[in-house]
């Protein structure tokens, strides 16, 4: 599912907004009206690339820490050394 999708559904006095971007990142929020829901959707899509870059930076940082722990012998068997 590498495409943008959204769904706006009434939920009491609010509107439930489900949106996904081309990187398959998803979110659900509740907005007071359809106009605010539409604004949220377009903002979510516009910030998709920036969000993906941040996720990639975080993944690289976690990988680097794990690699360093392994090189230093801190990881044993199936343990992640978090306890």
pLDDT in tens, the chain (83 residues): 458 999 999 999 999 999 999 998 999 999 999 999 999 999 999 999 999 899 899 999 999 988 888 888 777 666 666 65
Inside any domain, residue 77: no
CA distance 14 to 78: 46
Print the domain residue range for 30. Answer: 5-71
Inside any domain, residue 20: yes
**How many CB atoms within 10 Å of residue 45?**
15
**How many CB atoms within 10 Å of residue 10?**
9
Number of structural domains (the chain) is: 1
pLDDT of residue 61: 93
CA distance 71 to 69: 5
pLDDT of residue 1: 45
Inside any domain, residue 10: yes
Inside any domain, residue 53: yes
Q: Which two tokens stand for residue 18?
A: 């489900």
Inside any domain, residue 76: no
Q: Which two tokens stand for residue 37?
A: 């829901």
């Amino acid at each position: 599912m590498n495409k943008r999708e959204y769904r706006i559904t009434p939920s009491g006095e609010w509107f439930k907004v489900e949106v996904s971007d081309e990187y398959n990142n998803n979110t659900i929020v509740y907005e007071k009206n359809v106009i605010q829901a539409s604004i949220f959707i377009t903002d979510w899509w516009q910030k998709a690339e920036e969000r993906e870059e941040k996720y990639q930076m975080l993944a690289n940082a976690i990988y680097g820490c794990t690699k360093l722990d392994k090189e230093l012998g801190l990881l044993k068997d199936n343990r992640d050394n978090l306890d």
